[in-house]
Amino acid sequence: MIQDFKPDFLKVYIKANELLVSSNIINEFPFSVTQFVKTQSSIPCRKFSKAKEYGVDIEAFGSESAVTIKDEGNKTIIFYNHDQLPQRVKFSILHEFGHIYLGHNFNEKDLIVYNNNEVETNCFSAQLLMPEQVLKELKLRGITIDEEFLMQTFGVSKLAAEKRMENLFKNSSNRTPEEKMYDDIILAKFMPWINSIVPPRFDNLFEDEEERQREREQWKYKNINRR
């Protein structure tokens, strides 16, 4: 029943992690969202001021930040409000791209499905802009992860930082093997950037690696038992 529909957080998390690993644009934070979208799709990102050139009436869509539409030639375009703060624009563009990448229906009429799609896309965008694995490593190194740190270090808006803090690390102890699958790869990719923010705490290196090894062994054990 449609009333039982809930956000598919596992799907969203894995898809975002896949992009974090494979993207040659996301090597540090913050990164260029427009360049990221360009390398991941054929979808152009254009300023609101360019809308008329495509025969599009932006005002008809009622969005103040960004909107995805099809032009007269049925080409998908993400339009964004360049007059807003860059931090907000960045999240808005990723939000629109997330709907496309996650296969959401832009013409969804069911309010429950629509709201769940919004939740999925917000989680998708947050994981790309502020990866949980990276934040966990920074926390292990003694960094206080709060809204101000997220805003200053990852270049996100206050609202995005607030939303990220609401659920960050809450499910760390209950994560599935599928959720953990990309952890080591993501950490290895972004380790130079992490080290540039804060040097490793050598007294914790053995403890951190021991914890990761336990997770690997648990995953291997569960997979063997499934066979």
Collapsing DSSP to helix, strand or coil, 47 comes out as strand
CA–CA dist 157, 37 (Å, integer): 19
Q: What is the pTM for the complete model shown?
A: 0.84
**What is the CATH topology of the domain spanning 2-133+142-170?**
Arc Repressor Mutant, subunit A (1.10.10)
Among residues 125, 122, 130, the alpha carbon closest in space to that of 149 is found at 130
User: Are the C-beta atoms of residues 69 and 61 closer than 8 Å to each other?
Assistant: yes
Sequential pLDDT tens for the chain (227 residues): 444 568 999 999 999 999 999 999 999 999 999 999 999 999 999 999 998 888 888 777 667 889 998 877 788 999 999 999 999 999 999 999 999 999 999 888 899 999 999 999 999 999 999 999 999 999 999 999 999 999 999 999 999 999 999 988 776 667 888 888 999 999 999 999 999 999 987 665 555 566 656 655 555 444 445 44
Sequence-ordered strand ranges (E) for 43-183 = 45-47, 66-70, 76-80
